[in-house]
Chains A and B, each alone.
Chain A
Amino acid sequence: MLNHVIALAYLAASVLFIIGLKKLGHPDSARRGNILAAVGMALAVLATFVAPSTHNHVWILLAIAVGAVIGTVSAKKVKMTAMPQMVSFFNGMGGACAAVISIVEFMAYAHTINAPDTTVALVASTLTAPGAADYPFLNGHVLVILLGLIIGSVSFSGSIIAMGKLQGFVTEKAVRWPMQRATNAVLLLGLLAIAALVLIACSCAVPYGLFMALFALSLLYGVLFVLPIGGADMPVVVSLLNSFTGVAAACGGFLYDNPVMLTGGILVGSAGTILTILMCRAMNRSLANVLLGNFSGGSGGGSAHSGDTTVREVSPTDAAILMSYAKKVVIVPGYGLAVAQAQHICRELDEQLEAKGVVVKYGIHPVAGRMPGHMNVLLAEADVPYPKLLEMDEINPEFPSVDVVLVIGANDVVNPAARTDTASPIYGMPILDVDKAHNIIILKRSMRAGYAGIENELFYHPKTRMLFGDAKDSLEKLLAEVKSM
């Protein structure tokens, strides 16, 4: 009876994981999704805990208490800005957990090989094939143990290095050494070779040494895998290691014939891989480019400044989410707004955002457009309330507290070169300090230079996202997305 209930609990947990993950992909349901997944996890843990085959309850409870207290306290205390390294740390713990499980199970299995009669209880969980006396280690059970060990260890040490790079106790620079790719490839092949040697070990001697070497080299590989990647790319690496840990957890599913470990692990393995690719795409790069280092040298060192020429595009959906969940949005109109005759749709977007509780203001540069007052006239025509239009001197001190700046077809009036680059033809011109805001979304038809014919480094700023297209089209798309939210 109890076993049937446990099986059902595992099923419910698996379903909750899937629904939770699905809901995590939408801003409105994300929080509920996280809670659903947590409920699923609680179910799975509880079911395992009350299973008839589980003993040592006191010790298990104690271990859970220790982990829960440390986990909660550190997760609550960490600063918002230090979240990625925290995720990396927790991910590493999961990897380490999988590796430790593999070590225990290998030793237990080796024990049954040495003394076949004594530990009959273990055979229940071992999936040995019959008649494999010549190669007692050549079976799925050992293979899964080895996979769990390798993947879990790589994920653990890699995550710790990634965390170090984000936190600053490991250099955030991309560490390269001669023949770096070759050494890593050789190490990986070596890992596989040792694993193969363990599998074909004879019954005369348990390959403890090889197993431990496999453990050590896996840890080393995790370190060498992450070191050559720059600090700025760590979120992608953490996401990839996250999916590794998922696969390591799934190995446990095979090991114990446990469906919830398998579904949970594989779900994260595949979803994590897709997510990793999505993250790379959002940075306009490929996964191979991130992992192997880029050849252009553009942002190789991680935190490149003036040499950084990556333009980051944003989808209307993402831009709409950024604005809908902001506290304060400042719209900076320019000539592009006038050309596209987009002032009415701009006001509609403004109204939609205000309806969601977002404060919307306009930052008007004195020479925005082609004549002084051009923007005021245009926006007044669209019935934008006059008090919302702020002059440059009024709006500039506000930018540091602005969540999103939406630049609509303006260019020179937001070019930071006017402040910093003495060689620039517009040096000394007062500008709107939009680069001080938290996020900058720029609607623009193309990467062409503005009226003054000069490059604008704001477009390459890490905080900047470009939405290319006619101002009216883009605003209409944004409006539709904001409405549907």
Chain B
Amino acid sequence: MDSLLVFISDNMQMVYILILSIFVGIEVISKVPAVLHTPLMSGANAIHGVVIVGAIIVMGHAAADDFFALALGFVAVVLGTLNVVGGFVVTDRMLEMFKKRK
């Protein structure tokens, strides 16, 4: 138990960011028309692709002879990129229908 408390107080700044981000997320979404639900979900989906940063860190820190970490890291970067790139491209395609007409 102690070590968990230590973990929290060691990461106090991160905990603050965590709490504030929760509120920002709620505020940002509060009033959204139903036709935008799917594109918004898709856009948010692309944003959590930020997990790719973790994947790059895994690969970037792996020792050159640590094939386990290198191989899994490679897989993770591919998966994360799929999430990011695919997510943003799909969202953009969905939003084409909201293009302004003249």
A residues with a Cβ closer than 8 A to B are 13, 17-18, 20-22, 24-28, 30-31, 33-35, 37-38, 41, 44-45, 48-49, 51, 53-57, 59-60, 62-64, 66-68, 70-72, 74-76, 78, 80, 83-84, 86-87, 89-91, 93-94, 96-98, 100-101, 103-105, 107-108, 121-122, 125, 127-130, 132, 135, 138-141, 143, 235, 238-239, 242-243, 245-246, 248-250, 252-275, 278-279, 282, 314-315, 317-318, 321-322, 325, 356-357
Q: How far is the CA of A125 from the CA of B18 in the complex (A)?
A: 19
Q: How far is the CB of A371 from chain B (nearest CB, A)?
A: 37
Q: Using Cβ atoms and an 8 Å threshold, which residues of chain A touch B84?
A: 41, 45, 67, 71
Q: How far is the CA of A108 from the CA of B57 in the complex (A)?
A: 13
Q: Using Cβ atoms and an 8 Å threshold, which residues of chain B touch A125?
A: 61
Q: Using Cβ atoms and an 8 Å threshold, which residues of chain A touch B47?
A: 17, 20-21, 37, 41, 246, 264, 267-268
Closest residue of A by beta carbon distance from B4: A140
Q: How far is the CA of A38 from the CA of B73 in the complex (A)?
A: 22
Q: Using Cβ atoms and an 8 Å threshold, which residues of chain A touch B89?
A: 71-72, 75-76
Q: How far is the CA of A347 from the CA of B48 in the complex (A)?
A: 45
Closest residue of B by beta carbon distance from A122: B61
Q: Using Cβ atoms and an 8 Å threshold, which residues of chain B touch A254?
A: 11, 14
Q: Using Cβ atoms and an 8 Å threshold, which residues of chain A touch B24?
A: 18, 267, 270
Q: Which of B30, B35, B36, B90 has a CB less than 8 Å from the CB of A83? A: B90
> Can you list 15 A-B pairs with a CB-CB distance of less than 8 A?
A26-B36, A41-B49, A53-B60, A60-B56, A63-B77, A66-B81, A70-B86, A94-B48, A128-B3, A259-B14, A270-B23, A274-B29, A275-B44, A282-B37, A322-B35
Q: Using Cβ atoms and an 8 Å threshold, which residues of chain A touch B76?
A: 97, 100-101, 104
Q: How far is the CA of A146 from the CA of B75 in the complex (A)?
A: 19
Q: Is the CB of B55 within 8 A of A21?
A: no
Q: Which of A71, A100, A108, A132 has a CB less than 8 Å from the CB of B75? A: A100
Q: How far is the CB of A281 from chain B (nearest CB, A)?
A: 9
B12 beta carbon closer than 8 Å to chain A: no
Q: Is the CB of A268 within 8 A of B44?
A: yes
Q: A127-B10, A139-B7, A258-B53 are in contact. Are A267 and B25 (CB under 8 A)?
A: yes
Name the residue in A41, A84, A271 with the highest tally of chain B Cβ atoms < 10 Å from its Cβ: A271
Q: How far is the CB of B68 from chain A (nearest CB, A)?
A: 7
Q: Is the CB of A252 within 8 A of B45?
A: no
Q: Is the CB of B55 within 8 A of A100?
A: yes
Q: Is the CB of B54 within 8 A of A261?
A: yes
Q: How far is the CA of A252 from the CA of B95 in the complex (A)?
A: 30
Q: Is the CB of B62 within 8 A of A31?
A: no
Q: How far is the CB of A137 from chain B (nearest CB, A)?
A: 10
**B-side interface residues, number (CB < 8 Å):** 87
Q: How far is the CA of A278 from the CA of B41 in the complex (A)?
A: 11
Q: How far is the CB of B88 from chain A (nearest CB, A)?
A: 4
Q: A53-B61, A269-B22 are in contact. Are A356 and B77 (CB under 8 A)?
A: no
Q: A129-B2, A278-B32 are in contact. Are A140 and B8 (CB under 8 A)?
A: yes
Q: Using Cβ atoms and an 8 Å threshold, which residues of chain A touch B17?
A: 259, 262-263, 266
Q: A75-B86, A93-B83, A235-B38 are in contact. Are A129 and B6 (CB under 8 A)?
A: yes
Closest residue of A by beta carbon distance from B87: A90
Q: Using Cβ atoms and an 8 Å threshold, which residues of chain B touch A105?
A: 58
Q: Which of A24, A57, A84 has a CB less than 8 Å from the CB of B36? A: A24
Q: Which of A139, A238, A269 has a CB less than 8 Å from the CB of B3? A: A139
Q: Is the CB of B39 within 8 A of A30?
A: yes
Q: Which of A248, A257, A264, A282 has a CB less than 8 Å from the CB of B11? A: A257
Closest residue of B by beta carbon distance from A262: B17
Q: How far is the CB of A398 from chain B (nearest CB, A)?
A: 20
Q: How far is the CA of A371 from the CA of B52 in the complex (A)?
A: 66
Q: Which of A54, A72, A107 has a CB less than 8 Å from the CB of B57? A: A54
Q: For chain B, residues 52 to 102, give those with C-beta under 8 angstroms from any C-beta of chain A.
A: 52-62, 64, 68-70, 72-102
Name the residue in B57, B76, B86 with the highest tally of chain A Cβ atoms < 10 Å from its Cβ: B86
Q: Is the CB of A35 within 8 A of B36?
A: no
Name the residue in B22, B82, B88, B90 with the highest tally of chain A Cβ atoms < 10 Å from its Cβ: B82
Q: How far is the CA of A62 from the CA of B74 in the complex (A)?
A: 9
Q: Using Cβ atoms and an 8 Å threshold, which residues of chain B touch A51?
A: 60
Q: Is the CB of A54 within 8 A of B43?
A: no
Q: How far is the CB of A254 from chain B (nearest CB, A)?
A: 6
Q: Which of A86, A97, A275 has a CB less than 8 Å from the CB of B86? A: A86
Closest residue of B by beta carbon distance from A108: B69
Name the residue in A103, A242, A269, A270 with the highest tally of chain B Cβ atoms < 10 Å from its Cβ: A270
Closest residue of B by beta carbon distance from A70: B82
Q: Using Cβ atoms and an 8 Å threshold, which residues of chain B touch A250?
A: 18
| Given A33-B43, A56-B73, A274-B29, 20 other A-B residues pairs in contact with their CB atoms under 8 A | A24-B44, A30-B39, A44-B53, A55-B62, A60-B60, A68-B85, A70-B82, A71-B81, A71-B87, A75-B85, A93-B82, A101-B76, A103-B72, A104-B68, A138-B3, A238-B41, A255-B54, A259-B14, A265-B51, A271-B26
